[in-house]
Every structure is written in structure tokens, then in C-alpha cells.
Chains A and B, each alone.
Chain A
Amino acid sequence: MLTRLRAFLGAVLLLITPLAAAQLSIEITGAGAPRMPIAVAPFPGEGALGPGITSIVRADLERSGLFRGLEVPPLAPAPTEASTVNYAEWRSRLADALVLGSVAARPDGRYEVRFRLYDVVKQASLGGIAYTLSKEQVRATAHRIADFVYEKLTGEKGVFSTRIAYVVKRGNRFELQIADADGAGEEAALVSFEPIISPAWSPDGRKLAYVSFENKKPVVYVHSLVDGKRNVIANFRGSNSAPAWSPDGAKLAVTLSREGGSQIFLLNADGSGLRRLTSSAAIDTEPRFSGDGQWIYFTSDRGGSPQIYRMPAAGGEPQRITFEGSYNVTPRLSPDGKTLAYITLNEGKFQVALLDLSNRQVQIITDSDRDESPSFAPNGRMILLATVIGERGVLSAVSSDGRVKQRLSVTAGDVREPAWGPFTE
């Protein structure tokens, strides 16, 4: 009886797991600099939209580590973007910034959201926007509002509307997942019984290149997220891996073993025009283009231990970039090209290091011990990475100054291979 009950529960769990697991939850584990206090007043009428639009805006802003969302008590009458702002009252609530707005149902079944951002200290409006949306677009709309607020107050573009890709291993299944930057709205682009590694976003955010082992060996695919079409880009004799897009999206650098060893090649994004870039007896892999397209950074053990090098993107003499330590791999350039993030073996721990390319200073910014695959947010502010906590792969994020740390986790499965997508229009 007990075993039958267990079997039944097992079946029920199997049925509900995909739903229960379909969301990453985010936990901020460290906060850094003084955060700007901001009040996001509930928008009158937002209850009709389901998930609270203002609570998503507030969570986005807090997750950046730069803002502290203030509790706003119920106000009567509830202020909207059309109200006259009582700055003295908001100042007494210790708000430096204020977001007011409203939601109205439209005759066509859609909704209209209007909002306005205020600088409470300077007593000035910083502008506002109106959006029309369906009920399914609440999260996307909230992320856009948060992006507007973030950009107005920090001078940098927000990344709340961008997406992330990662691989989840659940039992014997591998899922290539796409989610909002806050981990919500997870959707599988590919599900396989064989491993998937090294997802890389095309610069326009419409495609992912990755390595799939579905043919019992590594093969590079380009997968359109718009229509789900998959193209084999590199399936040469031997292993095919480590795809990296050129900044214009026209070319891919890949690692191939077709001529023996693991060497870096360049090909057109449709798989044509193969050209070899490195020629060494070493492992040359993990290519990454610099943002200006001039350089390819890569990992090589030509000096005896794996270190990071760079060479002209057209091929040419490599120069060594990392010198400290015996294991430096997985180079990732910041969007402004000034900083190199990579994984270093530091006293037995694999951690994320940042190298300032102008003054050669190295800073280790994580305190975990099995970090992999660092990935910059497109505004350069945060780095997403894979690590292991309690024998389970999780994603974590760290601000590029190392001060704010977040953990993203799914309720079931091993998460690895994160890649933060680009800004999209």
C-alpha cells in the first residue's frame, strides 16, 4: 500500500515538476553601496492586470543593488501620474525618487499603463511614458518601466527587459532555457537527452549558437528563437565546439579538432568559408571577440598551463594576457571592452576574476569555489555565472564591483552554462 502510494506520489510529482520548476527565484545575498531610496506607489487599477506591475518594477530596481524600494502605505486618494505631487510629503517618507502611475481598461480589451518618474530632492518630473498592453504583457511592461527609471536615475541603460539563456539538467534531460533577466517566464528552446553546452547569443538577440551532443559527439548549431529552426554550423570530423559571434553577427569563431588537437577556426554564420586561425600543438579554445571586432581572446595551454591570450581577429601572433596563477580560462570581455572577466583557480577554488586591461590589476569578485561561465549583463553592471552550492548547480550574479551578490535557483535540477542576452529593441 505504501509503495503504491509512493508510486502515485511519484507520478504526481513528475506531472507537477515542470510547473513548479518553471521559475528561477532570486535571492540577494549581499548588498553594496548606499542605495537610493525610491517609492513606487501602487498604480490605481493595476489589480485588473493580475501580477502587481509595481511590485515587479520595485523588485527589478532592488535587484540591481542600486535602489531600495520604500514601503508605500495605502493613500486616499491614490495618487496617479496626473496628480499634483506633494514633494514635501514624499521627502518626509525619505524618498529620493518617486514613481506614480495608473492602469485603465480600454474598450478593445487591452489595458493602458501610464507612469511618471519624479526627482523628489530636486522637485522635478523626469518624464513618463504610456503603454498599451494585453494581460500577458504585464511582466514585459513592468521591466520597461524599470528600465526607464534605471536609465533616468543612473545614466546607464537598464537590463531588466533583456533575457538570459542557461541549461538545466533534470534527471536525464537537458533543457536549454530562455528566461527574463529576473528569471521569470522560463521557456525551453531545446530539450534533449544529450548534453547541451556553450550557448552564445547572436548580437541581435534572435538566435543562439550552442554545442549539442545529440549525435554522440559535439556539433555546433545555430538555433533561431523566432521560429525554432536549427542549422548545423559546424559538424566536421572530430569535435566541434565553443561558438562565438563576431560583433556584426556575420561570423562565428569555433573550436574544431578536424585537423588534430583543438584549434580555433573562423566561419561565416551560415557555416561556409571555413578558415583556420590558430596553429599550435596546444589546446586553443573558448574564443571571444572584442566589442570592436578587432581581437579574439581565447584560452590556450601553449605555455604549459591554460592561460588567456588574444590575437588579431583575422589571425596572427597571439599575446599572453593572464600571468598570475596556473589556471586561467573562459575569457569574457565587458561590453565597454575595458575589463576581462575569467575563471581563475585560486587556492584550490575556481572563482571569477576581473582584469582591468588598462592597469593590469586583477580582482577576484566571488567567494564560491566552483564558478564557471561568467557572462556580463549588456550594460556591464552585473556578471551572471554558474556555481555549485550543496552539490547542485545554481546561477548566481555578482555586480562588477563585487559588492552585490545574488543567487538564482530553480526548484529542481542542475543549472549551468548561463549566457546573458544583448539589448534588443
Chain B
Amino acid sequence: MRLAIIATLAAAALAAGCATTPEQQAPVSVEERAAKPAPVETKPIARVDLTSKPAAANPLKDPNNILSKRSIYFDFDKYDIKDEFRPQIEAHAKYLRENPGAKMLMQGNADERGSREYNLGLGQRRSDSVKRALTLLGAKDNQIESVSLGEEKPVCTEHAEDCWAKNRRGDMLYNGEY
């Protein structure tokens, strides 16, 4: 600022001492310059960060997305879908509708009591039941294969009801996951 004033004074003195100048140019006032500043333009660098993947890339894997919920639990000797699992079924049906290339393997499971082959039938009833619900909500029949693992793949191996309840289960697997 002080430099600018000195420069202005010097210019004024120069102009005053120079009579050959027919028309005096109006000195550029300091105020006038300050009123129109040149904008400082900085362009941000487009950063690629490989260390933190956005969690929302795959909705099927996003723990905050209902689509990451894949298990449905059933009551003893039952295969109807309980109300608490309705939103989950609806979300997966929507996903299958919107992604016609998506395929699902629906695995039904049973608890360990009784015949292995009859339990395979009970698990099939459960996976068929989920498949029916998904197709009623618009998923295509050929997108879903319903199968049974019977009592052969328990997630819980103690011989008690709270464990059996975890094994009376349907699991949804998408292509690439089985």
C-alpha cells in the first residue's frame, strides 16, 4: 500500500513536470484499483484415494443397506415368512426386479432333529416359500433357484432350542457368492 502511494506520487510529479503532455491523464486512483480485484483462481486437484473405498459401492454388501441382510428365520415346523422379514423380502425383490441379470441361490435349512432326508424336505419348503414371496413381488422365476441344505450346514451346533432356532433358516446368496 505504501509502495502504491509512493508510486502514485511519483507519477503525479512526473506528470506535473512534463509540460509536453497536452492532455493530462486522470491519475488512476488507488481506490479505483482496489474496487476491482483480480479473482484468485485455484483449481482443486482431483484426488483418487484407494485407501478408503466408498462403502456404498455394492448395496448387497453395504451393512447399512437392508440388502446386506440375507438370512430369514422360521419357527419350529413352520415355513411361512414372519412379518419382521417383510421389508427384507421386499428390498430383495426390488433389487432382483431392477437387476434382471442378478441371480439368487436360496438355501433352506432345518434343525437337526429327526430324519436327514425329511429335514431336507423341510428346508426345501422354506426356500420355496421365500422364492414364492420374491416372485410374487416381481422377481423372475429364472432368477431364483431354491434348494435345501437340510440339517447338514448348521450355523450353531449345540443341541438346544436357541441353537435350533438359528438353524431353521433361509440364506440368500447372489451370483458370485456361491
Contacts and interface: CB of A to CB of B under 8 A. Distances in A.
Contacts of A283: 118, 121-122, 124-125
Interface string B23-56: 0000000000000000000000000000000000
Given A216-B105, A218-B147, A257 B128 contact: yes
Interface of B: 105, 107, 113-118, 120-122, 124-125, 128, 145-150, 152-153, 159, 173, 178
A418 to B, nearest CB: 12
A197 interface: yes
20 contacts: A197-B152, A198-B116, A216-B105, A217-B105, A217-B145, A217-B147, A237-B145, A238-B145, A238-B146, A239-B147, A242-B117, A255-B117, A262-B120, A299-B117, A299-B118, A329-B117, A329-B118, A330-B117, A350-B114, A391-B159
Interface of A: 195, 197-198, 213, 216-218, 237-239, 241-242, 255, 257, 260-262, 283, 285-286, 299, 301, 306, 327, 329-330, 343, 345, 350, 372-373, 391, 417
B148 A218 contact: yes
Contact of A285 (B117, B145, B152): B117
10 shortest interchain CB distances as A-B pairs: A283-B121, A195-B152, A217-B147, A262-B121, A329-B115, A239-B148, A216-B178, A242-B117, A286-B117, A257-B124
B121 A255 contact: yes
Contacts of B117: 197-198, 241-242, 255, 285-286, 299, 329-330
B50 to A, nearest CB: 32
B105 A261 contact: no
Given A217-B105, A237-B145, A257-B148, A285 B121 contact: yes
Contact of B152 (A213, A306, A345): A213
Given A257-B128, A261-B128, A241 B118 contact: no
A328 B110 CA distance: 18
B124 A261 contact: yes
Nearest to A262: B121
Given A198-B117, A213-B152, 4 more contacts: A216-B178, A283-B121, A286-B117, A329-B117
A197 B119 CA distance: 12
Given A217-B107, A283-B125, A239 B120 contact: yes
Most buried by B among A218, A306, A372: A218
A391 B158 CA distance: 9
Most buried by B among A237, A242, A260, A262: A262
Most buried by B among A217, A257, A327: A257
A283 B121 CA distance: 6
A262 B124 contact: yes
Nearest to A242: B117
B143 to A, nearest CB: 12
A8 B46 CA distance: 54
Contacts of A237: 145
Contacts of B152: 195, 197, 213
Nearest to A240: B147
Contacts of B145: 217, 237-238
Nearest to A283: B121
Contact of A329 (B114, B125, B173): B114
Contacts of A216: 105, 107, 147, 173, 178
A83 B128 CA distance: 72
B116 A257 contact: no
Contacts of B146: 238, 257
Nearest to B123: A239
Given A237-B145, A238-B145, A238-B147, A218 B120 contact: yes
A345 B77 CA distance: 15
Contact of B118 (A195, A260, A286, A417): A286
